[in-house]
Amino acid sequence: MLAIGMVRGKSGVHAFDLPKPEISQTDEVLVQVQEVGVDGTDFNMIKHNLQDIAEGHDEIVMGHEMVGVVEAVGRKVKSVAPGDTVVMTVRRGCGQCQPCLHNQSDMCMTGLYTERGIHKRDGFFTEFVVDQEQYVVKVPADLVKLAVFTEPLSIAEKGVEQIRLIQSRLPWACEHPDHTFSSSDWGRCRTALVIGAGPLGILATALLRLAEVHTYVADIVPEDSPKAHLIKHMGANYIDTRNKIPKEIVDFCCSTSGNVDIMFEASGAASTAIELINYMSRSSIYIMTGIPREEFVLQVDAAQLVRQIVRYNQVVVGSVNSNRSHFEMALKDIPAINSRFGGMLEEMITHRFKLEDYQKIFTLSDPKQIKTVVDV
Ligand SMILES: [Zn+2]
Ligand SMILES: [Zn+2]
The residues that bridge with 299 in the sheet, in sequence order, are none
Query: What are 195-205's pLDDT values in tens digits?
Result: 999 999 999 99
pLDDT on residue 254: 86
Average pLDDT over residues 103-116: 97
Give the Cβ contact number of residue 314 at 10 Å: 18
Question: For residue 93, which ligand has an atom nearest its CA?
Answer: 1
Which pLDDT tens digit goes with each residue over 27-73? 999 999 999 999 999 999 999 999 999 999 999 999 999 999 999 99
Which of the ligands is closest to the CA of residue 112? 1
Q: How far is the CA of 188 from the centre of ligand 2 (A)?
A: 6
Ligand 1 centroid, distance to 22 Cα (angstroms) = 26
Rounded Cα distance, 357 and 272, in Å: 36
Assess whether pLDDT exceeds 80 at residue 357: yes
Sign, CA torsion 133/137/141/145: negative
83-92 confidence digits (pLDDT tens): 999 999 999 9
pLDDT higher than 90, residue 184: no
How far apart are alpha carbons 257 and 74 in whole angstroms?
Answer: 55
What's the pLDDT tens digit per position in 239-267? 999 999 999 999 999 887 889 999 999 99
Residue 124 pLDDT greater than 90, yes or no: yes
Mean pLDDT of 352-374: 93
Least confident of 89-98, 136-145, 173-182, 233-242: 173-182
Distance CA 269, CA 246 (A): 12
Mean pLDDT of all residues in 327-340: 97
* Ligand lying nearest the CA atom of residue 92: 1
Kindly identify the ligand whose nearest atom is closest to the C-alpha of 102. Answer: 1
* Residue 130 confidence (pLDDT): 98
Residue 258's pLDDT is what? Answer: 85
How far CA 143 is from CA of 106, 330, 333, 355, 361, in Å, comes to 25, 11, 11, 23, 25
Ion ligand 2: residue ranges with CB closer than 5 A: 174, 176, 179, 189
Residues forming beta bridges with residue 318, ordered by sequence position: 288
pTM exceeds 0.85, yes or no: yes
Phi, psi of 136 (to 5 degrees): -110, 125
Mean residue pLDDT across the chain: 95
Tell me, in angstroms, the distance from the centre of ligand 2 to residue 275's CA: 29
What number is the average pLDDT over the span 172-195? 92
Strand partners, 120: 115
